[in-house]
Amino acid sequence: MTETVRGLAKSLRTAVFDYQSLPDALQSLLGDYGQSSKITCRVKAHPPDLDVQNPLKTVIYRIAQEAMTNVVRHSGASRCDVELRRTAKGIELRVTDNGSGADPSRLEGTESLGIVGMKERAAALGGELRVDNPRGRGVRVTARFPWPPANQS
């Protein structure tokens, strides 16, 4: 039974990425969040045709998904921006909202399992994740990954 569920989950994940670039998959994800939450969501990719392969593609998508879940559940935001860019050092994902910010105690330690999970996903591919919480000005989640990833050629 477990193997059947894993196989189904893997095929669903692969199907999304077989037909969409990462920016397009993120746009679809944000469209779903925007419709259900009334938060205006925007994706920007620099360069516009930026795309990466698995496993990095899945990790970036899942980090964006968790960050957006946090925006919807906790921020009180009306807007969320997702930026994906290639930098001189690698690939960067940034999710920023205009909400009220987060309780700093929830961002530290292991209380926020979502943040811990995002950090673990990033670290698994040699990346890092940072959460910035300027008082009263929303939250910014930034994930940075080396390019090419350590486990890809």
Q: What is the mean pLDDT of residues 54-74?
A: 91
Q: What is d(CA 58, CA 96) in angstroms, rounded to the nearest whole number?
A: 20
- For 35-53, the pLDDT digits (tens) are 788 889 999 999 988 889 8
The tokens describing 150, both together, are 């350590």
Domain for residue 37, yes or no? yes
- CA distances for 14 relative to 20, 67, 79, 121, angstroms: 10, 21, 29, 18
- For 133-146, the pLDDT digits (tens) are 877 788 999 999 99
Domain for residue 83, yes or no? yes
Domain for residue 151, yes or no? no
pLDDT of residue 143: 98
Domain count, the chain: 1
Q: What is d(CA 53, CA 49) in angstroms, rounded to the nearest whole number?
A: 13
Domain for residue 60, yes or no? yes
Domain for residue 87, yes or no? yes
Domain containing 133 — which CATH number?
A: 3.30.565.10
Q: Which residues, listed in sequence order, are joined to residue 45 by a DSSP beta bridge? A: 84
Q: In what order do the strands lie in the sheet with 40-46?
A: 40-46, 79-86, 90-97, 140-146, 128-132
Domain for residue 91, yes or no? yes
Domain that holds residue 92: 21-146
The tokens describing 88, both together, are 């001189």
Is the pLDDT reported for residue 19 higher than 60?
Answer: yes
More confident residue, 120 or 3: 120
pLDDT of residue 108: 60
Domain for residue 55, yes or no? yes
Domain for residue 8, yes or no? no
Asked if 84 and 50 touch (Cβ cutoff 8 Å), the reply is: yes
